[in-house]
């Protein structure tokens, strides 16, 4: 006889409060619901405030990606004031955003994700002792190194922006800092030191060697090629993931979205992949077919979120959101809204960046096995290999170039703007409308809003929910499969539950 049972799995080791509810039938997940269980009404604070105030308040949305929010807020205001940035301002904004991405990737990978391999569920696996030695919280070898290296690289943001987290050094027209040649030399030195750790411990090879890995066959060959590869943290991830079967779980919805980011300065030796003069192109991929991206096709649906939904799904410039704590009986179950692109749910994050950027390795891996936990987390582990050389290049270009870091602009009373970019966890957008030099409307859509979104009006599940359905759970008291799947999305709920906009 089939038995359906509902289980609640509140999740820690993610940023903020996430609760996963699943319906299980003979140890297989037949239905799932992902819920943000906190509400902070963040954008409400911005209504009626001065146009620049978002630069101070929105970084406070998130303690691990505040520079990303700052940049999105500044970009929205660049558009509003219609100001063109000096090359050095573009470089400094890019360098600091990339620094934030790098710290996030490793803190997530080694302090939040890999920790699951030390779960008692794996006690009898061959990798268990090694996992404990490397990733046990606060004492594991890699954990201790990650604490040391990630805070060190963040010094770059402090040198250029004053502090991390929560600075406001980006303003419409550029950045406020005027770094000296010595400041930039320190940044480059920090970068080079980080590269040493990344190459020797995380990759086990040079970045240049890693760049030659362009297919699944290359990846297998790379792992077997040298002891330093097999014994690096990437090597251990490949071995653990294989034994734990991470390729078999967490498929998701198959749609990917990337807002693109890292606008290229006019004069630079850095080459871009796409046609939109961004180092990371924007785009949407549906079953590996790329489509051009148009921000007007974004809507937010609140049919299953605790907000008034009487007006249907809206574009963020038109969206209207009023909290409506109806309890669970109405079908509403989350404080996170449901962003959709052209009415479809889409996954975002490092893997989406790779897919939309047509990275051959990741396209090949998805062709062979579809999206899964393994490939999603792999993208996060190796993304820095693509960022580090570009950061070094831009730091050197900034040091050589003596031009300005800020362009002044005229006062303006009314208009609108948006700022889109790829934050550590994926597509982040800020939309602002200004009237009488005051904020009339402010809307933020975070990466986790895409990934951990609830259902929409058509009943389509969000990507995390979709990734869980069909999963076999071996031990319902210790659902390690769900832990892996959810953490592979690196959810940040503190961000997401703030994505509320209230019309004045």
Partner 1 sequence: MPLKLYWIQCGGCGGDTWSFFNAESPNVVELLSSFDIELLWHPSISINSQNDLKTINDDVLSGARELDVLCIEGSILRGPGGTGRYDEIHGKPKKDLVASLAKRANYILAIGTCASFGGIGAHTEIEATGLQFLREEKGGFLGEEFKTKSGQPVINLPGCPCHCDVLAGTIAAIGSGVQLKLDEYNTPEEWYGMMVHQGCTRNEYHEYRVEERKFGEKGCMFFHLGCHGPLVHGPCNKVLWNNRSSKTRVGVPCFGCTRPDFPQQYPFFQTRNIEGIPIELPEGISRAHYMAYKGMAAAAAPKRLKTRKTGI
Q: Restricting to residues 428-487, name those near partner 1 by CB under 8 A.
A: 477-478
Q: Please identify, using beta-carbon distances, which residue of 269 and 477 lies nearer to partner 1.
A: 477
Residue 164 lies near partner 1 (rule: CB under 8 A): yes
Stretch that binds partner 1, among 166-174, 264-272, 352-360, 457-465 (CB under 8 A): 166-174
Minimum CB separation of residue 12 from partner 1 in Å reads 5
Q: Exactly one of 57, 241, 246, 365 binds partner 1 (CB under 8 A); which one?
A: 57
Q: Exactly one of 178, 181, 196, 221 binds partner 1 (CB under 8 A); which one?
A: 178
Residue 15 lies near partner 1 (rule: CB under 8 A): yes
- The SS3 assignment for 370 reads coil
Do 257 and 450 contact (CB within 8 A), yes or no?
A: yes
Minimum CB separation of residue 13 from partner 1 in Å reads 6
Residue 389 lies near partner 1 (rule: CB under 8 A): no
Site residues for partner 1, window 218-277 (CB under 8 A)?
A: none
Q: Please identify, using beta-carbon distances, which residue of 66 and 278 lies nearer to partner 1.
A: 66
Q: Please identify, using beta-carbon distances, which residue of 112 and 207 lies nearer to partner 1.
A: 112
Q: Please identify, using beta-carbon distances, which residue of 174 and 254 lies nearer to partner 1.
A: 174
Q: Exactly one of 23, 30, 31, 60 binds partner 1 (CB under 8 A); which one?
A: 60
| CA pair distance 82, 170, nearest whole angstrom | 15
Q: Exactly one of 1, 269, 296, 325 binds partner 1 (CB under 8 A); which one?
A: 325
Residue 426 lies near partner 1 (rule: CB under 8 A): no
Minimum CB separation of residue 62 from partner 1 in Å reads 5
Residue 307 lies near partner 1 (rule: CB under 8 A): no
**Which 3-state string (H, E, C) describes 417-442?**
EEEEEEECCEEEEEEEEEECCEEEEE
Closest C-alpha among 135, 71, 58 to residue 100: 71
DSSP class of residue 205?
A: S
**Nearest 10 degrees: CA dihedral of 478, 484, 490, 493?**
-30
Do 145 and 499 contact (CB within 8 A), yes or no?
A: no
Minimum CB separation of residue 155 from partner 1 in Å reads 5
Residue 318 lies near partner 1 (rule: CB under 8 A): no
Minimum CB separation of residue 395 from partner 1 in Å reads 15
Site residues for partner 1, window 331-360 (CB under 8 A)?
A: 335
Question: Binding-site residue total for partner 1 (CB under 8 A)?
Answer: 81
Q: Please identify, using beta-carbon distances, which residue of 119 and 393 lies nearer to partner 1.
A: 119
Q: Exactly one of 61, 241, 313, 473 binds partner 1 (CB under 8 A); which one?
A: 61
| CA pair distance 108, 238, nearest whole angstrom | 17
CB-CB neighbours of 59 under 10 Å: 24
- The SS3 assignment for 325 reads coil
| CA pair distance 219, 265, nearest whole angstrom | 33
Stretch that binds partner 1, among 45-53, 73-81, 275-283, 371-379 (CB under 8 A): 45-53
Minimum CB separation of residue 91 from partner 1 in Å reads 14
Q: Exactly one of 79, 112, 185, 457 binds partner 1 (CB under 8 A); which one?
A: 112
| CA pair distance 396, 218, nearest whole angstrom | 32
Do 115 and 13 contact (CB within 8 A), yes or no?
A: yes
Minimum CB separation of residue 74 from partner 1 in Å reads 11
Residue 131 lies near partner 1 (rule: CB under 8 A): no
| CA pair distance 265, 174, nearest whole angstrom | 12
Q: Please identify, using beta-carbon distances, which residue of 268 and 496 lies nearer to partner 1.
A: 496
Do 262 and 98 contact (CB within 8 A), yes or no?
A: yes
Residue 63 lies near partner 1 (rule: CB under 8 A): yes
Which two tokens mark 206? 């040079």
Minimum CB separation of residue 26 from partner 1 in Å reads 22
Minimum CB separation of residue 246 from partner 1 in Å reads 19
| CA pair distance 277, 291, nearest whole angstrom | 17
Site string for partner 1, 137-156 (x = CB under 8 A): xxx---xx--xx-xx--xx-
| CA pair distance 112, 140, nearest whole angstrom | 12
Residue 430's DSSP bridge partners are 419, 444
The residue count of the chain comes to: 504
Residue 188 lies near partner 1 (rule: CB under 8 A): no
| CA pair distance 334, 154, nearest whole angstrom | 33
Residue 369 lies near partner 1 (rule: CB under 8 A): no
Q: How far is CA 154 from the centre of its chain?
A: 17
Minimum CB separation of residue 188 from partner 1 in Å reads 14
CB-CB neighbours of 209 under 10 Å: 16
CB-CB neighbours of 5 under 10 Å: 11
| CA pair distance 290, 87, nearest whole angstrom | 30
DSSP class of residue 108?
A: I
Residue 292 lies near partner 1 (rule: CB under 8 A): no
329: buried, middle or exposed (CB in 10 Å: 19+, 13-18, 0-12)? Answer: exposed
Minimum CB separation of residue 438 from partner 1 in Å reads 9
Q: Please identify, using beta-carbon distances, which residue of 174 and 426 lies nearer to partner 1.
A: 174
Residue 180 lies near partner 1 (rule: CB under 8 A): yes
DSSP class of residue 259?
A: -
């Amino acid at each position: 006889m089939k038995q359906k049972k509902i289980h609640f799995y509140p999740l820690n080791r993610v940023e903020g409060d996430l609760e996963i509810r699943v319906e299980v039938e003979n140890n297989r997940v037949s239905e799932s619901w992902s819920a943000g269980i906190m509400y902070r009404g963040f954008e409400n604070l911005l209504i009626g405030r001065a146009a620049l105030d978002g630069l101070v308040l929105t970084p406070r949305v998130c303690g691990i990606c505040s520079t990303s929010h700052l940049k999105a807020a500044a970009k929205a205001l660049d558009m509003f004031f219609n100001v063109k940035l000096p090359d050095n301002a573009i470089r400094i904004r890019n360098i600091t955003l990339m620094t934030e991405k790098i710290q996030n990737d490793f803190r997530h990978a080694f302090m939040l994700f890999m920790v699951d391999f030390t779960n008692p569920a794996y006690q009898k696996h061959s990798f268990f002792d090694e996992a404990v030695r490397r990733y046990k919280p606060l004492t594991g070898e890699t954990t201790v190194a990650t604490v040391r290296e990630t805070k060190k690289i963040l010094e770059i943001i402090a040198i250029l922006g004053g502090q991390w987290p929560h600075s406001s050094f980006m303003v419409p027209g550029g950045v406020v800092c005027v770094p000296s040649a010595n400041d930039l030399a320190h940044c480059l030195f920090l970068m080079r030191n980080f590269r040493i750790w990344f190459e020797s411990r995380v990759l086990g090879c040079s970045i240049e060697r890693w760049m030659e890995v362009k297919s699944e066959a290359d990846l297998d060959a790379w792992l077997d090629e040298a002891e330093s590869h097999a014994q690096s943290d990437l090597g251990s991830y490949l071995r653990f993931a294989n034994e734990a079967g991470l390729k078999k779980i967490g498929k998701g919805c198959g749609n990917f979205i990337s807002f693109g980011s890292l606008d290229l300065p006019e004069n630079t030796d850095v080459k871009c992949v796409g046609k939109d003069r961004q180092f990371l192109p924007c785009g949407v991929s549906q079953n590996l077919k790329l489509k051009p991206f148009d921000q007007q096709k974004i809507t937010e649906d609140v049919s299953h979120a605790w907000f008034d939904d009487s007006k249907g799904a809206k574009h963020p410039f038109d969206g209207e959101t009023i909290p409506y704590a109806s309890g669970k009986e109405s079908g509403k179950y989350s404080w996170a809204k449901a962003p959709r692109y052209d009415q479809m749910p889409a996954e975002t994050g490092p893997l989406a960046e790779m897919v939309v950027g047509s990275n051959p390795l990741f396209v090949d891996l998805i062709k062979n096995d579809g999206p899964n936990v393994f490939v999603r987390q792999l993208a996060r582990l190796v993304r820095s290999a693509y960022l580090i050389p570009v950061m070094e290049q831009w730091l050197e270009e900034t040091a050589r170039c003596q031009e300005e870091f800020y362009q002044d602009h005229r006062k303006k009373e009314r208009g609108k703007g948006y700022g889109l970019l790829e934050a550590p966890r994926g597509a982040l957008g800020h939309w602002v409308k200004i009237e009488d030099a005051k904020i009339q409307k402010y809307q933020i859509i975070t990466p986790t809003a895409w990934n951990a979104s609830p259902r929409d009006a058509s009943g389509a599940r969000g990507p995390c929910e979709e990734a869980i359905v069909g999963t076999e759970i071996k031990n319902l008291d210790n659902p390690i499969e769900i832990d892996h799947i959810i953490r592979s999305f690196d959810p940040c709920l503190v961000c997401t539950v703030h994505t509320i906009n209230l019309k004045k």
